[in-house]
Amino acid sequence: MKITLLDPGVERDPYPLYRTLREGFPLVHDEMLGAWLLSRYADVRAALGDVRLGSAAVGPSPAYRRLLEPALRTAAERTAHVLARRMAGRREVDLVAEFSDWLPAAAAVAALGLPWEEAVQVREWCRTGSARSGGCHPELGGLLRPHVTRRRAHPGTDLLSVLCAARVDGQPLSDETVTALAGTLLTGGGEATARALASFLANLLDHPAQLDLVRARPGLIPGAWAESLRRDPPTPVVLRRASAPVALGGATLPAGAVVACLIGSAGRDPFRFADPDRYDIFRADPAHLAFGAGRHFCPATTLAGLAAECGLRALLDAMPGLRWAPGFRPAPRGLMARAPRLLLVRPR
């Protein structure tokens, strides 16, 4: 039997293949993909943390993150409320097209104090996937440079002005650093965050009793978000290349081998999670791998969590009767980038 992630049908529902892999082929070469598939939780975790399996992305360091987070929280709260209130009076809306796809990019644009028209461009770059996790779109430099020059001459109170005026280790940030940080914020993980938010909303709408609990006790939101990331990670496959021979899943792979870490499969591994298909906001130890593990662990987990928390709170405030539109069922799709593409709801 030839095993490949590229089989038709896997994009719609990868879970039967993930189960087959975990149970019988914990490490197997996918010839069509050109990568070794790793599907058990323990193996995926070990691979993500293995320094011989490289990844080229660079992200904001903790010093920079402390500059970004307060401004982003305020902007995410405001933006989420504006987007939620715009939909609240309508009979039926699609939360993907009108909310989850917009919130991460629009919140970053608002935090940086950029004009709203630029949210449209940034959202398009995020949606077309032209910015990989952690990377910046090449044209962002051109979009940002005039704004950086203007903030240097006439500082305001927005995040771009804060970055222009900031000192890290006593040194001001260069234009390149400011542009790179703002660019990462705008497109670096916006697409992954948008997908994760769509899956989060789908999981809660699918479980109205848990949604009611979260509405009554917002302190439950972080656990509910983590559980959604475990069950439905927005980036279910992370590719890595071995820089040296590496022992994984019971075999030794040569230098140069490409490894596909199946985060989506690891999150449903019954050896790690009891009843893994179930969405349960009270799961004692979600310990998901949706943000990776080890050296390349996503540096923006707090930023992504802000979008989830502010987004959900704003929707629940604006939409007391939030529920699926009659007869609607979400249908997540995607192999490397997975989420429902449509979330039809009744706001009231």
Q: Where are the alpha helices (DSSP H) in 113-262?
A: 117-127, 140-153, 159-165, 175-183, 190-206, 208-216, 221-231
Q: Pick between residue 41 and residue 291 the one whose CB is nearest to ligand HEM.
A: 291
Least separation in angstroms between residue 13's CB and ligand HEM is 20
Stretch of residues binding ligand HEM (CB under 6 A), selected from 77-85, 144-152, 288-296, 325-333: 288-296
Q: Pick between residue 27 and residue 103 the one whose CB is nearest to ligand HEM.
A: 103
For residue 75, state whether it binds ligand HEM (rule: CB under 6 A).
no
- DSSP-based three-state secondary structure for 195: helix
Q: Evaluate whether 255 touches 31 at the Cβ level (below 8 Å).
A: no
Q: Give all strands (DSSP E) within the chain, no chain letters.
A: 27-30, 35-38, 53-54, 93-94, 167-168, 171-172, 237-242, 246-248, 251-253, 258-262, 323-324, 332-333, 339-340, 344-346
For residue 59, state whether it binds ligand HEM (rule: CB under 6 A).
yes
Rounded CA-CA distance 13/205 in Å is: 20
Applying CB under 6 A, among 248, 298, 343, 345 the residue interacting with ligand HEM is 298
Output Rg (C-alpha) for the chain, integer angstroms: 21
Stretch of residues binding ligand HEM (CB under 6 A), selected from 25-33, 74-82, 206-214, 300-308: 300-308
For residue 134, state whether it binds ligand HEM (rule: CB under 6 A).
yes
For residue 296, state whether it binds ligand HEM (rule: CB under 6 A).
yes
Q: Pick between residue 325 and residue 337 the one whose CB is nearest to ligand HEM.
A: 337
Rounded CA-CA distance 190/183 in Å is: 11
Least separation in angstroms between residue 15's CB and ligand HEM is 18
For residue 299, state whether it binds ligand HEM (rule: CB under 6 A).
yes
Q: Evaluate whether 14 touches 5 at the Cβ level (below 8 Å).
A: yes
Q: Pick between residue 343 and residue 347 the one whose CB is nearest to ligand HEM.
A: 343
- DSSP-based three-state secondary structure for 43: helix
Q: Which residue is nearest to ligand HEM (CB)?
A: 189
Q: Pick between residue 5 and residue 347 the one whose CB is nearest to ligand HEM.
A: 5
Q: Pick between residue 229 and residue 347 the one whose CB is nearest to ligand HEM.
A: 229
Q: Evaluate whether 344 touches 328 at the Cβ level (below 8 Å).
A: yes
Q: Pick between residue 200 and residue 273 the one whose CB is nearest to ligand HEM.
A: 200
For residue 234, state whether it binds ligand HEM (rule: CB under 6 A).
yes
Is the dihedral angle over the CA atoms 314, 317, 318, 324 positive or is it negative? positive
For residue 266, state whether it binds ligand HEM (rule: CB under 6 A).
no
For residue 300, state whether it binds ligand HEM (rule: CB under 6 A).
yes
Stretch of residues binding ligand HEM (CB under 6 A), selected from 119-127, 208-216, 264-272, 293-301: 293-301
Applying CB under 6 A, among 100, 228, 235, 265 the residue interacting with ligand HEM is 235
Closest CA to 309 of 30, 121, 104: 104
Q: Pick between residue 276 and residue 311 the one whose CB is nearest to ligand HEM.
A: 311
Applying CB under 6 A, among 183, 189, 249, 311 the residue interacting with ligand HEM is 189
The C-alpha angle with vertex 173 and arms to 170 and 175, in degrees rounded to 5, equals 160
113: alpha, beta or left, given left = phi > 0 and alpha = psi -120 to 50? left
For residue 236, state whether it binds ligand HEM (rule: CB under 6 A).
no
Least separation in angstroms between residue 189's CB and ligand HEM is 2
Q: Classify residue 2 as exposed, middle or buried by CB count within 10 Å of its CB (0-12, 13-18, 19+).
A: exposed
Q: Binding residues for ligand HEM, per CB under 6 A? A: 48, 55, 57, 59, 133-134, 184-185, 188-189, 192-193, 196, 234-235, 238, 290-292, 296, 298-300, 303-304
